[in-house]
């Protein structure tokens, strides 16, 4: 199994939910609505889920092995942090342009 695409769909300012992600597996299967959550022990991935009648949540799709979960998490976090760095770089560039305009 290969993660062939990771798309960061939305980055939020929310304290807990940091982003919504879609992944493509082997260019053949897409999983939407994966969330990056900032928990008490750091960031983790929450697979798409639905709320049950009793208030509990059940995953709609999820990896069956720890190795597969690790592959998915690694690919998602790599792209998420790359996008964050890119946004920070763009922000610094925009600030430098504003400072030059003020001179």
Q: What domains can be seen in the chain, in order of their start residue? A: 3-102 (3.30.1120.40)
> Could you tell me the pTM of the whole model?
0.82
- CB 67: neighbour CB atoms within 10 A? 10
For residue 89, the model assigns a pLDDT of 80
* Residue numbers in the chain where pLDDT is lower than 50: none
Q: What is the pLDDT of residue 103?
A: 57
Predicted local distance difference test score (pLDDT) of residue 44: 96
pLDDT at 94: 62
What pLDDT is recorded for position 80? 96
């Amino acid at each position: 199994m290969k993660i062939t695409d990771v798309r960061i769909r939305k980055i939020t300012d929310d304290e807990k939910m940091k982003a919504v992600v879609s992944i493509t597996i082997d260019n053949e299967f897409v999983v939407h609505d994966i969330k990056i959550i900032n928990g008490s022990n750091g960031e983790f991935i929450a697979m798409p889920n639905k709320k049950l009648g009793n208030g509990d949540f059940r995953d709609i799709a999820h990896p069956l092995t720890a190795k597969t979960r690790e592959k998915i998490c690694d690919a998602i976090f790599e792209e998420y942090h790359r996008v964050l760095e890119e946004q920070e770089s763009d922000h610094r560039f925009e600030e430098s342009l504003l400072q030059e305009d003020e001179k």
